[in-house]
Amino acid sequence: MNIARDSVVSIHYTLKGDDGDVIDSSASREPLAYLHGHGNLVVGLERELEGKSVGDKLSVKVSPAEGYGEYEDQLVQKISRRSLRGISNIRLGMQLHTQTPQGTRVVTVTHIAGDMVTIDGNHPLAGKALSFEVEITDVRQATEEELSHGHVHGAGGHHH
């Protein structure tokens, strides 16, 4: 069958950045299974998979806007260490969950100077052009339960 909305698709993939470095790969794992048409993949990749079938191999270049978003300077903030009260051992690269008017946001600690901590709310891959090598290993119809949860169950998906 061909990939369409509500397909459960299994892929092996390798993701590289602008510089050709491998950012992530499923090569040493089981394939990634995702529910197609529900925004579970970056939009630029999901669109290219539409209509493809098992055995197809694709090379897909994804712009930041269709990947993890443009890098937004206003998502970078300097705050005092005191406002992170309750979080011990603040260190570089640490990811924190903060409350904003738009809901919970994951931020990364990118700089620490004395009492000031810089946090960055951009996705770690924001602003990066991405390059995916993808091989489709399975396509099936989603179950009712998977559709109601919005994600895949079983191999390569959620186990709960």
What residue ranges bind Zn ion (CB under 5 A)? 149, 158
Cβ nearer to Zn ion, comparing 29 with 159: 159
Shortest separation between residue 141's beta carbon and Zn ion, angstroms: 16
**C-beta of residue 130 within 8 angstroms of C-beta of residue 17:** yes
Q: Is 60 helix (H, G, I), strand (E, B) or coil?
A: strand
Shortest separation between residue 35's beta carbon and Zn ion, angstroms: 10
Cβ nearer to Zn ion, comparing 12 with 149: 149
Shortest separation between residue 89's beta carbon and Zn ion, angstroms: 33
Shortest separation between residue 34's beta carbon and Zn ion, angstroms: 13
- Count, in order, helices (H) and strands (E) of the chain: 2, 9
Position with the least CB separation from Zn ion: 149
The beta-carbon contacts of 98-101 under 8 Å, at least 24 apart in sequence, are none
Length of the chain: 160
Cβ nearer to Zn ion, comparing 5 with 158: 158
Cβ nearer to Zn ion, comparing 99 with 148: 148
User: Scanning the structure block, which residue is given the tokens 């390798």?
Assistant: 14
Give the separation between CA 67 and CA 127, rounded to whole angstroms.
Answer: 8
